[in-house]
Amino acid sequence: MQLDMKQSDDSYSMAAKERMAIELDGLVWRLNEVGSALATLNIFRRADIEIEGKKRRLNDFAQVDLGPDPMAGTFKVIIHNPVAIPGAVAVLKENKFISIDMSSKRELKVVKPRLTAQQEDDLETEVKRVTKSSLSKLASIKSDALQRVQAAIKAEYIEPKESKKATLQLDDLIQQAGTHASILGLIRRKQLIGGGLTFDGPEEEALYKRINDRAYKDVWQDMLLPKVGEDDGDDE
């Protein structure tokens, strides 16, 4: 996502631009965590099965394959050893995955249960909360930069003419960053809920029409794929 500097290239605006870019990157990560498929990906992580009298990690013999779209209504479990099938099926059913096609010994095809209306509302509310928090942080970045510009004027580090350009640039930056943040939130809501979104006014509805813009192609995918952190790997 690009933030343009067309009004001024002063140091105050440049610093604000860098901070806003960092916040937008963080927003992508936080939105990814809302409704993340990571829990499904790691469903066998702590489960064990017994093979020839020895306890073995189920994840060594059965692994979840979410496919190219982790938000899709189905996923596969790749079976490396048929002895793992009963254990894998048991864990899946414990986690409310009831519809399981076991016709193949090499993979299980699993249908995800549909979200309830309450679950959809909860996800949408959380996405809105995360987005609103980011918009507030972006506004604080602009406010901080403006205070620095005002302090520089008093200290005669910057001419009034240049300070006006800097102020205009900061106004432009917050407009761009705020638009990006709002569209990111709408993209995540679309990924999680699908159709039937409700908009908080005509402005948000207009922004929704931009979720497929080329500028958001990469971040759309970034928010789809589960982020695996340092604590999400296998335990030693």
Chain segment 86-96, per-residue pLDDT in tens: 999 999 999 99
Judgement on whether residues 98 and 19 belong to the same structural domain of the protein: no
- Mapping DSSP to helix (H, G, I), strand (E, B) and coil, where does residue 198 land? coil
Nearest C-alpha neighbor of 13 from the set 140, 170, 196, 160: 170
pLDDT at 149: 93
Whether 18 is in a domain gets the answer yes
pLDDT at 235: 46
Asked if residues 101 and 88 have their Cβ atoms less than 8 Å apart, the reply is no
Judgement on whether residues 72 and 171 belong to the same structural domain of the protein: no
Q: Which of these three, 111, 133, 152, is where a domain ends?
A: 111
Judgement on whether residues 127 and 17 belong to the same structural domain of the protein: yes
Instruction: Give the pLDDT band of residue 230 (cuts 50, 70, 90).
Output: very low
Asked if residues 185 and 135 have their Cβ atoms less than 8 Å apart, the reply is no
Whether 5 is in a domain gets the answer no
Domain total in the chain: 2
* Backbone φ, ψ for residue 74 (5° rounding): -135, 160
Judgement on whether residues 107 and 174 belong to the same structural domain of the protein: no
Through-space distance between the first and last CA atoms of the chain, rounded to whole angstroms: 38
C-alpha to C-alpha distance for 113 and 98, rounded to whole angstroms: 8
Whether 1 is in a domain gets the answer no
Judgement on whether residues 55 and 159 belong to the same structural domain of the protein: no
pLDDT at 234: 47
pTM reported for the whole predicted model: 0.83
The alpha helices in the chain, defined as continuous H runs, are: 11-33, 38-41, 85-94, 117-154, 160-193, 202-208, 217-224
Judgement on whether residues 25 and 128 belong to the same structural domain of the protein: yes
Report DSSP letters for 123-176, one per residue.
Answer: HHHHHHHHHHHHHHHHHHHHHHHHHHHHHHHHTTSS-HHHHHHHHHHHHHHHHH
Q: Does pLDDT of 168 surpass 80?
A: yes
pLDDT at 228: 64
pLDDT at 195: 77
Partner residues linked to 108 by β-bridges? 77
Judgement on whether residues 93 and 205 belong to the same structural domain of the protein: no
Judgement on whether residues 136 and 212 belong to the same structural domain of the protein: yes
pLDDT at 225: 83
Judgement on whether residues 179 and 153 belong to the same structural domain of the protein: yes
The first and second tokens of residue 220, run together, are 């759309």
Domain enclosing residue 135, as ranges: 11-35+116-231
Whether 62 is in a domain gets the answer yes
Mean pLDDT, range 193-209, rounded to an integer: 90
pLDDT tens string 110-158: 999 988 889 899 999 999 999 999 999 999 999 999 999 999 988 878 8
Q: Does pLDDT of 232 surpass 60?
A: no
Whether 163 is in a domain gets the answer yes
C-alpha to C-alpha distance for 165 and 220, rounded to whole angstroms: 34
Give how far Cα 90 sits from Cα of 48, 102, 112, 137, 227, Å: 11, 12, 15, 45, 26
Q: Label residue 86 exposed, middle or buried (CB < 10 Å: 0-12, 13-18, 19+).
A: exposed
Judgement on whether residues 25 and 70 belong to the same structural domain of the protein: no
C-alpha to C-alpha distance for 76 and 66, rounded to whole angstroms: 6
Q: Which of 134-143, 154-163, 179-188, 211-220 has the lowest mean pLDDT?
A: 154-163
Whether 48 is in a domain gets the answer yes
Judgement on whether residues 84 and 158 belong to the same structural domain of the protein: no
Q: How is residue 100 annotated by DSSP?
A: E
Whether 81 is in a domain gets the answer yes
pLDDT tens string 11-70: 999 999 999 999 999 999 999 999 888 889 889 988 999 888 889 999 999 999 998 888
Whether 2 is in a domain gets the answer no
